[in-house]
Structure 1
Amino acid sequence: MFNEQIKVILYANDVRKASIFWQSLGFAEISFEELDGSQVAEVAMSENSTTHLVIYDRAFIEKNDDEVTEPSPALIFGSDDMMGLYKELQTKNVHLGDLAQIGEELVFNFVDADGNYFVVSGK
């Protein structure tokens, strides 16, 4: 049910500056958006890469959801069957966050046995 795309969340004090940094290392900027008064950038090693870095504004995230700004990066798994995966994880008694729609994508988080948060995003 998971697909091969993985997105790593990074928190930055200046999203534009962070995106420019990664671009200076040869990464491609996949997108740069304003969402709910904050900036979000997505960069990858190439346009075809299945691993992306999604850079969120640290202050915005801390203000709106301070329990997810871990010092280490977080993973966003991709899925082409979000409802099926969500239901499957429910049957396995995985601690799940609410399934929400953000733009055109569905998103939810889940917690592993150590309390680490992971995100799943897709359609």
Structure 2
Amino acid sequence: MFNNQLKIILYAEDVKKTSEFWQSLGFHQVSFEQLDGSAVVELAITAESQTHLVIYDRQFIETNSDEAAEPSPALIFSSDDVIGLYKEMQSKDIQVGEIAQIGEEYVFNFVDIDGNYFVVSGK
């Protein structure tokens, strides 16, 4: 049976820079490993979080398992302060889309350093 742990794979051109990007948004490094000379970093929103991002080097994966290096999945992050997070990302020169209101929630997207789009939703 499934449990409440979830790991989401992200492929990056530069694992270190991608990890630093997510850490600048408050994520915490859970682990750092070398896999055949390539870095693999695992991050979580909090130390207690059951959902982790696992960042692999895109070139390493394409070389060793090209069928696994599909585009990153679409992720929707949740926030209790969407407007505050939006402003924080803007202050860090992160590319963000316009904020839209859908019902009682706000939604916007942002782009990481590898050109992957992510969505933030919440109040």
Q: In the alignment, what sits opposite 1:13?
A: 13
In the other structure, the counterpart of 1:73 is 73
Higher relative contact order (CA 8 A, sep 6+): 1
| CA apart distance, 1:35 | 1.3
Q: Deviations over 1:82-111 (max 9, x none)?
A: xxxxxxxxxxxxxxxxxxxxxxxxxxxxxx
For normalisation by structure 1, the TM-score amounts to 0.58
Structure holding more strand per residue: 1
Number of aligned positions between the proteins: 74
Please give the alpha-carbon distance, in whole angstroms, between the structure 2 residues aligned to 1:29 and 1:22: 9
**Alignment match, 2:33:** 33
CA distance in 2 between partners of 1:73 and 1:15 (Å): 17
Q: Structure 2 unaligned runs (5+)?
A: 75-123
Distance 2:62 2:52 in 1: 22
1: CA distance, partners of 2:72 / 2:55:
13
Q: CA RMSD in A?
A: 1.2
Shift of 1:73: 2.8
- Residue type at the aligned position of 1:25: L
CA shift digits 1:30-68 (9 cap, x unpaired): 011111111100001011101000000000000001011
TM-score by length of 2: 0.58
Regions of 4+ moved over 2 Å: none
Q: Percent identity?
A: 68
Alignment of 1:46-61 (within 5 A): 46-61=46-61
